[in-house]
Structure 1
Amino acid sequence: MSALGRASVRHRSLVIATWVLLVLALVTAARVIGTPTDNDVRLPGTDAQLVRDLTASPESPLTSATIIVVTRDGRLDDEARSGVLAATLASLRAAEHVTTVKPPSTREGTLSEDGTTGLFTVGLDVRRAELGEPVARAVTDAARPAADAGLRVLPGGALAQVLDGSGSTGGEYFGLALAAVVLFLALGGLLGAVLPLVASALAVVVTLQVVGLAGNLTAVPSQAATLALMVGLGVGIDYALFLLNRFRTLARSGLSVPDAIDRATADSGTAVVFAGATVAVALAGLGLTEVPLLQTLAWTCGLAVLFAVLAALTLLPALTSFAGKRLARGGALHNRFNRGVGGFWARQADRVTRRPWPAGGAALVVLALLAAPAVDLRFGQLDAGHSPESTAVRQAHDAVAAAFGPGRGSALTVLGRLDTPVAGAGDPRVTTLVQRARTHPGVAAVGPVTPSADGRVVTFPVTAETSGGDPATADLVHRLRELSVPGMTVHVGGPTAARVDLADRVTDKLPLVIAVVLLLSIAILLPAFKAPLLALKAAVMDLISIGAAYGVLTAVFTWGWGVTWIGLSGPAPIPSFVPLMLFALLFGLSMDYEVFLLSDVRRRWRETGDNLRSVREGLIGTGRVITAAAAIMVGVFLAFVPNDDPTIKMFGVGMAVAITVDATVVRCLLVPATMAVLGDLNWWVPGRRRSPGEAAPLPDRVSPGPGGGSGAGTRPGR
């Protein structure tokens, strides 16, 4: 780390130029090649994927969508409207990239029974990942004859998803503004606020362009870029803050700018690497799920962490070397703020370590109350009906559900594989399967049967009485798969069935992922802390923070407490992959603060051999900077809550709650209280006797640490 810091300062112009050129090259490539997204969920080895593979056909359009038309009076199939529908059909067929169009039809089930709502089924010659807003807008505008005639026209399916875009409402800018204010107070002056933002912004731009370009090689969901942006901004600014705060402390102690950067990179840079490694390990655990969606979200967020670490260790030292002594100075407001905060942390550290049992007990009560709702945590499936009412997908869903029933927007596909080719239209095997499906509880309607070319596969759509997000629909999927017909095996597919399979697989893999992530994280923390109990305790503290996040998530989205405040019309089911993804992200992110705090405490213990004193000084030394870092990260996460995507809202709420709890209740009360109770057991190493002062730094060396902490002038007794 020290050598890397020196090299970044010595070749600062080259380092900055390399980052700028990398950004320009990636942005240019993204504009030329494109950054496609694909929200298609593939689950190899599942029943839904088997149905999809068996029904795939070269003649099928690359993308299928719908145009919904609604009349406020009369019927669409009235003689008076036949000309309007014919003109709309011709206009849609003439639109660019449109290959097939089927008009509303009672026989096809695309005209409602009351005749007020009809669906134009549109086939496109572009893949879903390549379907951009201009094409979606052009196809929707092609239904102008219907709109001119007074009919309500709504885009549906893939068209609505594209027109809604990423769901961003610009809240990210609020997060950046809050980060700038916190950085100004923590580091002082304009440079202190700008440098971390510049370094993290360049790292985030690189991440987003790489993720976008990767969409040309593999399926990358639209949520991947948003999550990578959330994580990249949060950890990027945090890592930069830790390094710059350490630099300011060293520079103000009399070291030259190059020496201060060298030492800051060596001290806090090592903690940054360990912190980034814990995030990477936690995300890597998602690979065990064998779910491509989670694996993709994991490596995209992992890229954000990687580039954040690289920017903090190379770009930030280079930029800091130009800022020089000006960054070490703080204004009057900054100094007054820091004096007040420092006094608070001194008082807090003294209170907790003097009376650890009441402090720890109070923390556990608060955490238990927050985590209590998690016992009612239930997995479900989101559908368009859970999106905000202002979105195109929600409006399309509501129109279709009102006309065709709540299950129409999430139709199931029942597939029968026959031992021998189908024997004409009256094959008893097919008739039996259709009859049993039609009379099955929870089934609203059954569509026409379509045999395959070789006659060994038949498929037909099934419409449930309930919406795709209703648990009853998931139960129906399982029951339909249990249908038994001699000479035939039954499978159920479709988007809703795929989400059911996703939930089942995630539930099965959840214990394995948690166990592996815990073990690997502890293995990484052992070299950092050199104390098994500290590493184990750090992992347990993270689990406590995550439990509190799960509890709040359940209370808000399952019970509906305050859900309307974040832009939803009512409670929404929590997809199975959200808690697992949150576990991986939060375990890594919360561990960051544990690493910075305990690393500082350990350094002080190596100097003094006094456990209580080390805990107090560590909490005082890191209190201000970790609080600032947590405030930034919470602000960034909350800035994404207004996003239209309910999944992003869940990630924003869950991550903000966990970081808040971790940086306040856990770090201020529970961690110092437990360390005070354990005493020298904190530093126990099995099979080894060692003196408390072993490998202690020289007495006149400023004690390293992310918070600047105590040095020669602040060591007790001097």
Structure 2
Amino acid sequence: MSTIEEGPLHSVMGRIGGFSARRPWLVVAAWLLVAVTVAGLVLTFGRVTDEDAALPGSAAQHGRDLLEAHFTGSQNATGQVLFRSAGPPLDTAAVAAAAQRITEVEHVAAVAKPVLSADGRTGYVDVQFDLGPRAVTPALTGDVMDAAATGGIETLPAGALARPESDTGRSEAIGLVVALVVLVVAFGGLIAASLPLVTAIITLVCGVGAIGLAGHLTGIPSVATTLGTMIGLGVGIDYALFLITRYRALLAAGTARPAAIAGTVASSGSAIVFAGGTVIVALGGLAVAGVPILATLGWTSGLVVLVAVAAATTLLPALLTLLGPRIAAPRVRDRPSLWGRLADRVTRRPWRYALTSTVLLLALAAPATAMTLGQTDAGDDPAGSDTRAGYDAMAAAFGPGMNGPITVVAELTGPAATTADSRLTALTAAVAGTAGVASVQPVRLAGDGLVASVRVLPATAPSDPATLATVDRLDDLHVAGLTVAVTGQTAIRGELADRVGARMPYVIGLVVLLSALLVFAAFRAPVVAAKAALMNLLSVGAAYGVLTAVFQWGWGVTWTGLDGPVPIEAYVPMMLFALLFGLSMDYEVFLLTAVRESWVRTGDNARSVRDGLAGTGVVITSAALIMVCVFAGFVLSSAPVVKMIGLGLAVAIAVDATVIRGLLVPATMALLGRLNWWTPARRPGRGTPRPRTSGSGASTR
């Protein structure tokens, strides 16, 4: 059985590197053509997002399906336009005129009669579209709000019109600037430092652009493009950093440039393919959760990682060829590095460092035992944002439940009904008498008389756990001759949280198993594979603990730009688990590749651990610092979910690259000794090192 350094993948990647070195202009032109095409399509058609939640197999989804099947137009988007006066009551004639103008906007099917608050200073109109939620583009929202504009009256969007705006430009700029500074320091030159940024930008244009275009075909939440941007910047820069470091090391060893490029892609490129493949496999594990939004976030993020791997292993070698001698080899320093000295300390006292780092990681993870899953709403957005302004205005004028209406759907089990059917009267009375219900609108009966619906306004906000309790009570209603189901975004998201909690152990088990198998395939060492999985669980646990302490308990939450504690969105922990497990394996593969090369060369376990840590410490630190800054920059986003993902990723990567890779992994490898590389191979001697005459020095990938 072959390993990552000598298997078929090594040979294939070597040929890919050789082709990129022989035909650099062709490779660069192909990438530019793809990037320009994707960018042109995005500029022409735009990016479409869909915040609508769906949960096949749930009771709430069943109720929604009944509405769509029996009520014409119920599958189309509905938004609200709010009118607010800071002084006297609203001019009802002006509001009516605005409503009339809205009806003339293309794709507006109907505008309901204005509804006024008790004090007359706030009102709203329901705007029914003839399009589904995905088709309500920012341009269409702008047209509606322009038509609603009325002098002296403030207008605010709500519902399908309150689309979350992308405000990640500042985060992306911070990530790129920090990355450039770190790369200049690491490479000692601006030209070499700019190459990882070029590949990362190409990755963003192609990968994130493709996600935006996919929104025209299927539901893509806005967080998907944000997450794709985060991942694209992080891995796009990191993979290029690893390759350039290896390339310069080969040049320093006297290897000719064409051979150095082919050798770099063969060795480092193979490791990158394994690392990227681990991320993609981990994200693919989200599909077993049975939650569409997780599956969508999984494949969209995986697409960006795939593009990053392709750009790093084809575009970057071509650019290295074109730049020629301007990518100078690094100057070799004889004095021991900081990481080399740390490696000496850790391997001399492995028990001390293993126990200390384990205690620290468990302390960071401890708050995760109190984590509860919930759902955020626009009321959790930072004050001053458009979505928060509309939410607050609606809640102040009409009650908090106005932002999260619930729909009770009833199937008639007997004959078709008429509007005077006593069963409908009993349904309305039962719903109105349920604890937690603030108001009930008149019952609606489908044209076929087989399904009825009642729109309910709860007394509490959508993200309040009391609202889910109200949903449960409504779901338990028993009315003679009716079968009741409760639906709406609040109800669906509540069931989503329950399903995520129930299936999370299965997803964790699958991702851990698949990732461990990939590491085993790379190194043919089951002990190393099992240990890698355990280490990654510790880094994920630390991220969970920090998330719980900050967002759920409110420790320092105001530093993130939020007013106070917010619920941890149900799908975030599972998404973070898959993503972090994959990204953590990246550094694991990087370090283990260097350790194993030294082990094969020397047969000395302690020395191979020291060589591996000393040879990769600077690169891992640089790569992790870039990724941490990129992820942390997204905490500046206005969306609480983006803040959670950004902070969770930043904490986990920081912990992984310092405590785990710098202390715990080398300490445990020093303790395990030759057992690290034991393999259940049948032929004798397969687990023993074989001296090599070439490739001296710890690998940098």
* TM band (smaller chain): over 0.9
CA distance in 1, matches of 2:334, 2:690: 32
Would the aligned equivalents of 1:608 and 1:692 in 2 still touch at CA under 8 Å?
no
Shift of 1:701: 3.1
Contact 2:409–2:486 (CA under 8 A) maintained in structure 1: yes
Does the residue aligned with 2:452 lie in a helix, a strand or coil?
strand
Q: Tell me the equivalent position of 1:668.
A: 662
The match for 2:429 among 427, 435, 455 is 435
Cα deviation code 1:409-450 (max 9, x no counterpart): 101001111112454445333233322222222111111100
Secondary structure of the structure 2 residue equivalent to 1:569: coil
SS in 1 for 2:485: strand
SS in structure 2 opposite 1:142? helix
* Contact 2:634/2:642, CA 8 A, preserved across alignment: yes
Aligned equivalents of 2:500, 2:539: Cα separation in 1: 21
Distance of 2:393 and 2:308 partners within structure 1? 44
Note closer, same or farther for the CA distance 1:616–1:115 as it changes in structure 2 (3 Å cut): same
- 2:173 counterpart residue number: 173
Structure 1 residues 663 and 90, CA, compared in 2 at 3 Å: closer, same or farther?
Answer: same
1:71 aligned partner: 85
The aligned counterpart of 2:4 is none
Task: Find the counterpart in structure 2 of residue 563 from structure 1.
Answer: 557
Within the candidate set 454, 465, 477, 2:459 is matched to 465
Shift of 1:93: 2.6
SS of the aligned residue for 2:125 comes to strand
- Check if 1:521 corresponds to 2:515: yes
Instruction: Tell me if the contact between 2:436 and 2:459 (Cα under 8 Å) persists in the aligned partners.
Output: yes
1:12 corresponds in structure 2 to 24
Residues 1:37 and 2:32 aligned together: no
Deviation at 1:365, TM superposition (A): 1.7
State the distance in 1 between where 2:75 and 2:242 align. Answer: 52
State the alpha-carbon separation in 2 of the partners of residues 638 and 37 from structure 1: 24
Alpha-carbon shift at residue 696 of structure 1 (Å): 3.4
Report the 3-state secondary structure (helix = DSSP H, G, I; strand = E; otherwise coil) of the residue aligned with 2:404. strand
Partner in structure 1 of residue 273 of structure 2: 273
User: Which of 104, 113, 128 is matched with 1:103 structurally?
Assistant: 113
Match of 1:647 in 2: 641
CA distance in 1, matches of 2:602, 2:417: 87
CA, structure 1 residues 269+169, in 2 after alignment: closer, same or farther (shift >3 Å)? Answer: closer
C-alpha contact 2:416 2:450 (8 A) present in aligned 1: yes
Q: Is residue 2:199 matched to residue 1:199?
A: yes
1:143, CA displacement in angstroms?
2.2
1:552 is aligned to 2:546: yes
Task: Please give the secondary structure, in 1, of the residue aligned with 2:393.
Answer: helix
Deviations 1:483-538 (CA, angstroms, capped at 9, x unpaired): 12222111000110111121122122111111111111111111212210100000
Letter in 1 for 2:233: L
Counterpart in 2 of 1:254?
254
Name the CA distance, whole Å, in 1 between partners of 2:75 and 2:98.
20
Q: Does 1:118 align with 2:119?
A: no
Residue in structure 2 matched with residue 503 of structure 1 by the alignment: 497
Instruction: Tell me the residue number matched to 2:95.
Output: 85
CA distance in structure 1 between the partners assigned to 2:698 and 2:329 by the alignment: 19
For the 8 Å contact 1:188–1:329, the answer to whether it is kept is: no
**Contact 2:180–2:193 (CA under 8 A) maintained in structure 1:** yes
1:62: Cα distance to partner? Answer: 3.2
Deviates more, 1:612-621 or 1:110-119: 110-119
Contact 1:48–1:501 at 8 Å: present in 2 too? yes
TM-score, normalising length from structure 1? 0.92
Quote the Cα distance in structure 1 between the aligned partners of 2:376 and 2:92.
37
Tell me whether 1:600 sits opposite 2:594 in the alignment. Answer: yes
Q: What's the offset of the Cα at 1:693?
A: 5.0
Amino acid at match of 2:100: A
Return the alpha-carbon distance in structure 1 between the equivalents of residues 306 and 394 of structure 2: 44
| Aligned ranges 1:9-408 → 2 under 5 Å | 9-56=21-68, 57-60=71-74, 62-76=76-90, 81-104=91-114, 110-145=115-150, 148=151, 150-161=152-163, 164-329=164-329, 343-408=337-402
> Amino acid of the residue matched to residue 44 of structure 1?
P
For residues 75 and 13 of structure 1, the distance between their equivalents in structure 2, rounded to whole angstroms, comes to: 68
TM-superposed CA distance for 1:7, in Å, is 0.9
Q: Give the aligned CA root-mean-square deviation in angstroms.
A: 1.9
Residue 572 of structure 2 corresponds to residue 578 of structure 1: yes
Equivalent position SS for 2:574: helix
Percent of aligned pairs with the same residue? 49
Give the aligned partner of residue 710 of structure 1: none
Larger mean Cα displacement after TM superposition, 54-63 or 444-453: 54-63
Q: Could you tell me which residue of structure 1 aligns to residue 606 of structure 2?
A: 612
Query: In the TM superposition, what is the alpha-carbon distance from 1:60 to its structure 2 partner?
Result: 4.8
Asked if 2 retains the 8 angstrom alpha-carbon contact of 1:609 and 1:692, the reply is no
Match of 1:697 among 675, 682, 692: 692
Q: CA deviation at 1:87?
A: 2.4
**Structure 1 residue aligned with 2:5:** none
Moved more, 521-530 or 166-175: 166-175
3-state DSSP of counterpart to 1:160: coil
> How big is each residue's C-alpha offset from its partner over 1:596-651, in whole Å with a ceiling of 9 and x where there is no partner?
10111111111111111110111001101011110111111112111111111111
Q: In the TM superposition, what is the alpha-carbon distance from 1:370 to its structure 2 partner?
A: 0.9
Q: Residues 127 and 437 of structure 1: is their aligned pair in 2 closer, same or farther, counting only changes over 3 Å? A: closer
**What amino acid is the match of 2:675?**
L
Worse overlay, 269-278 or 39-48: 39-48
Asked whether the 8 Å contact 2:418–2:449 carries over to 1, the reply is: no
Matched, 1:481 2:491: no
Q: Secondary structure at the match of 1:325?
A: helix
Tell me if the contact between 1:8 and 1:314 (Cα under 8 Å) persists in the aligned partners.
yes
DSSP-derived class of the 1:103 partner = coil
Show CA shifts across 1:208-256 (max 9, x none): 2221222222111221111111111111111110110011011011111
Which AA in structure 2 matches 1:265? V
8 Å Cα contact 1:61-1:99 kept in structure 2:
no
Correspondence 1:533 to 2:527:
yes
Does the residue aligned with 2:572 lie in a helix, a strand or coil?
A: helix
| Alpha-carbon contact 2:249-2:329 (below 8 Å) kept | no
Distance in 1 between residues matched to 2:184 and 2:74, nearest whole Å: 57
Residues 421 and 454, structure 1, Cα contact 8 Å, conserved in 2: no
Q: Residues 612 and 432 (structure 1 numbering): CA distance in 2 closer, same or farther, change over 3 Å?
A: same
Q: Which residue of 2 aligns with 1:626?
A: 620
* In structure 2, distance between residues paired with 1:496 and 1:584: 26
- Greater Cα offset, 311-320 or 469-478: 469-478
Task: Report the alpha carbon displacement of residue 659 of structure 1 after superposing the two structures with TM.
Answer: 0.2
Structure 2 vs 1, CA of residues 29 and 650 (structure 1 numbering), >3 Å: closer, same or farther?
Answer: same
SS of aligned partner of 1:159: coil
Deviations 1:647-666 (CA, angstroms, capped at 9, x unpaired): 11111000000000000011
Alpha-carbon shift at residue 114 of structure 1 (Å): 3.1
- Return the letter of the residue paired with 2:281: V
Residue by residue over 1:66-106, the C-alpha shift from the partner in whole angstroms, topping out at 9 and shown as x without a partner, is: 11112334544xxxx333233223332333433311232xx
CA distance in 1, matches of 2:156, 2:45: 31
Closer/same/farther in 2, CA of residues 118 and 641 from structure 1, 3 Å limit: same
Say if 1:315 and 1:82 are closer, same or farther in 2 by CA, change over 3 A.
closer
Q: Distance in 1 between matches of 2:501 and 2:259?
A: 51
Question: How many residues were matched structurally?
Answer: 686
Structure 2 unaligned regions, length at least 5:
1-12
Which amino acid counterpart does residue 221 of structure 2 have in structure 1? P
In 2, the alpha carbon distance for the partners of 1:655 and 1:534 equals 24
In structure 2, C-alpha distance between the alignment counterparts of 1:702 and 1:36, rounded to whole Å: 52
CA distance in 1, matches of 2:580, 2:571: 14
Q: How far is the alpha carbon of 1:169 from its aligned partner?
A: 4.7
Contact 1:156 1:392 in 2 (8 A): no
The answer for the alignment partner of 1:712 in structure 2 is: none
- Equivalent in the alignment of 1:107: none
Deviation at residue 187 of structure 1 after TM alignment:
1.6
